[in-house]
Amino acid sequence: MPSPHRVVIVAFQGIELLDATGPAEVFSVASRVGGGEHPGYLVQVATPDGGPVTTSSGLRLMADLAFDQVAGPVDTLLVSGAVEHVGGAVQPVIDQQVVGWLRGAAPLARRTGSICAGAHLLAAAGLLDGRPATTHWLTAGRLAADHPGVRVDPDPIFIRDGRVWTCAGVTSGMDMTLAMVAEDHGQDLALATARMMVMYVKRSGGQSQFSVPLSVQTSSDDRIDKLCRWITEHLTEDLSLEVLAFQAHLSPRHFTRLFQRHTATTPGAYVEAARLEAARQLLQDTDHSLPEVAAASGLGSVETLHRVFRRRLGTTPAEYRRRF
């Protein structure tokens, strides 16, 4: 039997349980499905002191190793993530003991990956500098703000940049792990593993499909916040730059600068996003035809509806409706 690939999953107090167990299960199933034809996977959980950790669900996860016991070659090093709710906002947990250990351990592994908010730990250790990366859509903005050297893309399910992988929220760790299996052993084993687990070997679209409605996002400027609410109430009307500037009692030029400063997007992009959000809700909650959805959301035509869904969500309106 060929030697198995050694996988070390980093865990600490408060991690999401599926961040660790999801990838572990994919590697385990791949080993069983592959039989003796492929090297399997040896999965170990490492914690700072080698003791158990309590996950966000309250379930305890036992460790195989303490950090100082992780000796010898590591094929794949995966970092779980944790979040906490502070003042109504979701914030990533940055365990400094984990960050310090990663600085020395990650460069020695053949490949390194993060699951969900684990990307914040890789970034804090300097392992994502100059690289594209993703994380859960709830904390992607924080990742970009805290680490301007990281090229954060909040939409992909996972991103591979050389030997460093990052993925989106929670279950996306399983998608990423399937891709790792495909890299190690080919697409056929990845597909057989996905079938065994009743998973898509590659799901369509990105995590923008799952993000919260744009209507709950607010600006720090009352004028802009009021205008954003007005936009959502007048989606089928003329929402050109001139109309929006008039509503805000500002010149178009000054309005554009102010809007971008407080929303990090352009007025035109915001209007399109608001119309897209309305279309998403109609597809989820009604049986309106696509022409009716296009008209009611302000996108106008089915052609525009398809184009916006493809560009922003990586899927079609019909596929989105079937999924949600």
Q: Is the pLDDT of residue 189 over 70?
A: yes
Q: What value does the mean pLDDT take over residues 105-127?
A: 98
**DSSP element (H, E) containing 323:** helix 317-323
Q: Which domains does the chain have, with CATH numbers?
A: 5-208 (3.40.50.880), 214-323 (1.10.10.60)
Of 13, 3, 10, 24, the C-alpha closest to 176 is 24
Q: Is the pLDDT of residue 281 over 60?
A: yes
The Cα–Cα gap between 109 and 243 comes to: 56
Contacts for 219 with CB less than 8 Å, ≥ 6 apart: 225, 228, 262, 263
Q: What value does the mean pLDDT take over residues 258-262?
A: 86
Q: Look at residue 28 in the predicted model and tell me its pLDDT.
A: 97
Better pLDDT: 216 or 70? 70
**DSSP element (H, E) containing 113:** strand 111-114
Q: Look at residue 30 in the predicted model and tell me its pLDDT.
A: 96
Q: What value does the mean pLDDT take over residues 298-314?
A: 93
Better pLDDT: 288 or 262? 288
Q: Is the pLDDT of residue 219 over 60?
A: no
Contacts for 96 with CB less than 8 Å, ≥ 6 apart: none
Please state, rounded to an integer, the average pLDDT across all residues of the chain.
Answer: 92
Asked if 248 and 270 count as a contact pair (C-beta separation under 8 A), the reply is no
Secondary structure string (H, E, C) spanning 40-87: CEEEEEEECCCCCEECCCCCEECCCEEHHHCCCCCCEEEECCCEEEEC
Q: Look at residue 242 in the predicted model and tell me its pLDDT.
A: 96
Q: Look at residue 39 in the predicted model and tell me its pLDDT.
A: 86
Secondary structure string (H, E, C) spanning 271-302: HHHHHHHHHHHHHHHCCCCHHHHHHHHCCCCH
The pLDDT confidence band at residue 216, using thresholds 50, 70 and 90, is very low
* Ranges 114-118, 151-155, 174-178: which has the least confidence: 151-155
Counted residue by residue, the chain has a size of: 324
Q: Look at residue 215 in the predicted model and tell me its pLDDT.
A: 47
Q: Look at residue 54 in the predicted model and tell me its pLDDT.
A: 98
Q: What value does the mean pLDDT take over residues 84-96?
A: 91
- Over pLDDT 90: what percentage of the chain? 76
